[in-house]
Amino acid sequence: MTRLWRYGLVLSRSRDMAEELVQSTCVRALERSAQYTPGTRIDRWLFSILHSIWISDLRARQVRQGQGFVPGEELIAPDTHTRDEERIHFQQIMQRVNNLPEAQRNTLFLVYVEGFTYQEAADTLSVPIGTIMSRLATARATLAKTVDARPAAKEKRS
């Protein structure tokens, strides 16, 4: 549940909305449990459900508001209780990541935070694997321009 909530937070940038997304995901998973294929990764299935709910909510909100996406509250970096420099550095990185387009931010999260392979991320987001690779390359290039590069996180390509 923590991983789902974290992904909901990445998508919505709102703690309350993240909790609603997780609850909706659980309800939908229970309602459609017959659609789950035994032997496959349940986390990928749940992430796909959550992503689908998020996209549906975005579309409904756009229709109700008659306009594009309205950004939620700013994501506040957690208090790490470490040196102030590290906390400030973390906040700067999170701000830069949050400034990325949503598609790049979501892809970064799935691959680098959740450890999904490129194919798993592509399946979760319902896009071709080449799109995942392109989004990651563009996001890395954007972040490299603005952040003093630390060692890159290990990614799984297959």
| Nearest one of 97, 121, 100, 106 to 41, comparing CA atoms | 121
Distance between CA 52 and CA 47 in Å, rounded? Answer: 9
pLDDT at 70: 45
| C-alpha count within 13 angstroms, C-beta hemisphere, residue 31 | 7
Mean pLDDT per 10-residue section of the chain, whose length is 158 residues: 85 87 90 87 88 84 59 44 64 82 90 89 92 94 71 57
In single-letter form, the type of residue at position 155 comes to: E
pLDDT given at position 64: 66
Is the Cβ–Cβ distance between 73 and 13 less than 8 Å? yes
Which pLDDT score is estimated for 74? 40
The rounded distance, in Å, linking the Cα atoms of 19 and 28 is 14
Amino acid at 15: R
Check the CA dihedral 99-103-104-108 and report its sign. Answer: positive
How many DSSP H helices and E strands does the chain contain? 7, 0
